[in-house]
Amino acid sequence: MTPATATASLEKFRQVYADAVTETQPTETAMEIRELEWHGQRMPLAEAAEAYATICDGYNKFEPYMLARLLEAFPDAGIEVTPAREFSVAVYLHIPTGKEIVAAWVDQNLEADNVGFVTHFTCLQDGEADLVGEALRIWWD
């Protein structure tokens, strides 16, 4: 992902989560511009950790440090993330190797309400293609 694409992705993330990010609009404006159903562009885990860290004071059971902890636990695993919002906080992890190890760690450490592998979902943005392969879906309520 180029720096320009990363900046655009972060800006879109802040719009989608306008009601939850640290640099937000007044509450009424944030509620108008947020998006409750969204899948973003796939990005490296480090960039996703930076984006999700902007969610202030957590959101439902999600805490802003959670993806940073995942990155600390698996710094060289090559994990990529499809950021998402499915009414609440969600992420899809694309894990090249060690899928079961990562999934077990996530289940034990990230206090998510739903953790499981999916082989199909349709990205909700810009007519992007369906998921190819397998991803670990993590969702917090």
Q: 78 — alpha (psi -120 to 50), left (phi > 0) or beta? A: left
- The total of other beta-carbon atoms located within 10 Å of residue 17's CB is 23
Q: What is the pTM of this model?
A: 0.80
Question: Residue 105: enclosing H or E segment and its boundaries?
Answer: helix 99-109
Spell out the residues 6+ positions from residue 3 whose beta carbon is closer than 8 angstroms to its own.
Answer: none
Report the pLDDT averaged over residues 83-100: 89
Q: By the 8 A CB rule, do 9 and 41 touch? A: yes
Q: 39 — alpha (psi -120 to 50), left (phi > 0) or beta? A: beta
Report the pLDDT averaged over residues 71-96: 91
Q: By the 8 A CB rule, do 85 and 38 touch? A: yes
Alpha helices in 17-60 (DSSP H): 27-33, 45-52
pLDDT digits (tens, 9 = 90+) for 19-75: 556 555 556 676 676 666 778 888 899 998 988 787 666 566 777 788 899 999 999
